[in-house]
Every structure is written in structure tokens, then in C-alpha cells.
A and B are shown apart, each in its own frame.
Chain A
């Protein structure tokens, strides 16, 4: 357990001191959300209606931007091979690195979403559900993304390929995230709890199973 935590801590420290990854994801998020009103027109009613969906999709794209870096640097300088030779199972290595990605990308993106919601005139009742669904849904994004990152490790056009491999797998998280938000804002027959709990289930299953697939992919690449 201590080696797991120290690997997470190391990745967090690297992300903080390099600074680039978090900043790039947040900047990309801001730019995508700022471009949308330019394309759709400045109608605040329309923007307010589509704000949660726009923020969720933009969040997925921003997270994808950094997903292919999860293993990249460690693969280039040989750290990953050392980790594979070490005592800690590769599954735990994959889990630790996915967790670090979630902390450095998922959480900041979820926390900055309300600020961008302000720019889109999002309804006041949507803020809390939006942040909550993003915090619950982003672990799935990071952990499933790690599979794509491991599969495309060391390929020349890896970044582009990751999006193609991983985006279809994000469909369930996106759908349940958005239905939870809209159930919370629009008075309807559906309760907020149900989609939220399913979203949580998707995240938990991804956290448990995705490292197995990611580790298998890493073994294949490192052989």
C-alpha cells in the first residue's frame, strides 16, 4: 500500500512541478466552452438550456487531451520498465497512475466547471448536481482512459488514436451524468438519485476492472 501511495504522490508532485498538463487541460476547457457561443449565437436562453451538456462534453475532450500522457513520460525514460520489474503488480501501477490523473485532471476540471457555467448562463439549480456528477463520473474517464493510453504506448500517432479508442467507451458515463443533471434541474418523473447511482456504479466498475486491462496492455507493450 505504501508503494502505491508513494507512486501516486510522485505523480502528483511531477504534475504540480511541471505544471503543463493541468494548465493545458484547463485552458483547453476554457477555449472550447468559449468557442461554442461564438458558433451557436449569443442567445442566453439557448445557452442556458444546453450548458450542462456542453460542459460535460468539453470536460471529456479536455480530459482526453491529457489521457495519452498517463504512461508516456515514464515509458520514454524507462521508469515504466523499472516499475514493471518491481514488486508492485502492474495492475496497481496502472491504478496509481490513473488515480493521479484523476486528481490532477478530473477534479480541477469538475471544480472549474461552475465558473464556465456562469459564462453560459447556467441555471442556479444545476451547479451543485453538475459538479457532483463530474466528480463522480471523472474516475471512469481517467481509469478507462488509461486502457487507451496503455494500448497506444509508444505509437507515433498515439494521441489521436486514443480518442478513437476511448471516446465510444465514455458514452455511458456521459449519458448518466447528463441525465442526473437534467433530472435535478427539470421537474420530471425521473429522480436525481437513480442516474447518479448508476453513474457511481460505472465509475466503481471502471476503477476495479480498467487497471486489469491497462496492465495487460502494458505487459504487451513492454515485452
Chain B
């Protein structure tokens, strides 16, 4: 792990890894979507609309995983002040926000035929909406502070404050209103969802996770390259300025 923490090493190893992740995601998506649209049965109550679940549930999982990724990276950048942790947190924010928005949008499309309304102020939807706001705040602070290392530490503090708050927000919103069904996969007494629906869901969840990791890795690589280009430009400007000064003399 520590060996990979060097940005140059990271660029070396992440390239092939990114390729494998992308291939894995593509294969699993092909298998998963085939299972979803061809082999998996319709729900006896929900009919075809149950297929929205295969996008909605993995997106919601990744919305939370994205924030956990940011929290872990934030600890890395606050404790070890490691630039790669900054890069990881910065890269994860827009991706996590996109998956959160995807979960909300698919959820609202699913809610219309099931609950008869696009939006319900129910506990889970509300807490995911608040999570989206937390993501937007992180993106905003990355954009607002120009100096990257300073922005990184500010975003890390905010990320950790948000991470401490997420369970409290979740608890308070649950208290406030509950309509959304309880958890049906991650339960101590085993999943209550039928295996014919569970298998495609799990394949899709793994496919989405690989997609997330691939996007995250690609975004991290882009960010590192962007920073290198930036510092090269700075050097160029500096050398041009010193050259001009010599000519003037």
C-alpha cells in the first residue's frame, strides 16, 4: 500500500488495473443486464417496474460507498497529509454525487407507479437527498478554494464532519417519517428477497461497484496529470520570466 502511495508508482500500476476494472465492469454489466431483462421474472405485484430496482439499489449503495471513500481519504489527507488522499477525495466527490442523483432519480421514477407519486418526504429519500447536499458542499468547496492543498484539507475537514453527521441525520430523518420499505437484502436473518431477483441484483451491484472503482481510478489519474501539467506550465512561465529578465539586462 505504502509503495503505491507514490504518485509516479500509482500512475504505473493504476493504468493496467484500470483496464482490468473496465473490462470486468463491462462483462458483468453484459451478464447482469441479460439476467435483468431476459431471465429474471417479473414481480407478481410490481410487474416490469421491478427492473428499476437493479439500477436503483446499486446506485444507492454506491452513494454511501462513495461517501465512505471520501471519509477514508479525508483521514489520509488530514493525518498523513498525503497528496494521493487529496486526489482520491476530490475524484470521488462528483462520482458519488452522480450515483446519489441516479438513486434519487430512479427512485422517483419507481415511486410514481408504486406509490403514485414522484416524490414522498419519506425517511430514506430525505436522507439520501441530504447526502446529495453534502456531496454538493464538498464539490463547492473544492471549486471555491484555488490552492489545491489548502482546498484538500478544507474538504477533508468538511468530509469528516459530514461523515460523523450522516448517521445522526439518518436517525433523525427515520424518527421524522417512515414509509420506505425496510432493508430486504442486508439483514441478519438472511435476505427476504426471492433468489431469482437477488442474483441479478448482486451481479448488477458488483458491476456498478467495478464501474465506480474504474471511474474513480480514471478520475484520480486525470487529476494527477492535471496537476503535473499545471506545475509544468508554472515552470515554463517562471523560466520565461527569468529569460526575459536576462534579456532586459
The interface of chain A, by Cβ under 8 A from chain B, is 147, 151-152, 155, 157-158, 161, 164-165, 167-169, 171-172, 175-176, 179, 195, 202, 209, 213, 216-217, 220-221, 223
Contacts and interface: CB of A to CB of B under 8 A. Distances in A.
B145 interface: yes
Contact of B140 (A164, A171, A209, A217): A164
Contacts of A164: 133, 136-137, 140
Contacts of A216: 78, 153, 157
A111 to B, nearest CB: 26
Interface stretch (B7-15, B172-180, B184-192): B172-180
26 contacts: A147-B161, A157-B144, A158-B144, A161-B144, A164-B136, A164-B137, A165-B158, A168-B133, A168-B165, A168-B169, A171-B169, A171-B172, A171-B173, A172-B168, A175-B176, A176-B172, A179-B175, A202-B168, A213-B160, A213-B161, A216-B78, A216-B157, A217-B157, A221-B150, A221-B154, A223-B150
B130 interface: yes
B144 A169 contact: no
Contacts of A202: 168
Interface in B117-145: 130, 133-134, 136-137, 140-141, 144-145
A165 B140 contact: yes
Given A167-B133, A171-B173, A172-B169, A220 B164 contact: no
Contacts, number: 71
Nearest to A144: B161
A213 B176 CA distance: 28
B194 to A, nearest CB: 35
Interface residues of B, number: 27
A168 B144 contact: no
Interface in B33-65: none
A161 B140 contact: yes
Contacts of B200: none
Interface of B: 78, 130, 133-134, 136-137, 140-141, 144-145, 150, 153-154, 157-158, 160-162, 164-165, 168-169, 171-173, 175-176
Nearest to A153: B154
A48 B160 CA distance: 39
B158 A172 contact: no
The 10 closest A-B pairs by CB, nearest first: A172-B172, A168-B133, A165-B137, A175-B172, A220-B153, A168-B130, A175-B176, A172-B168, A151-B154, A164-B137
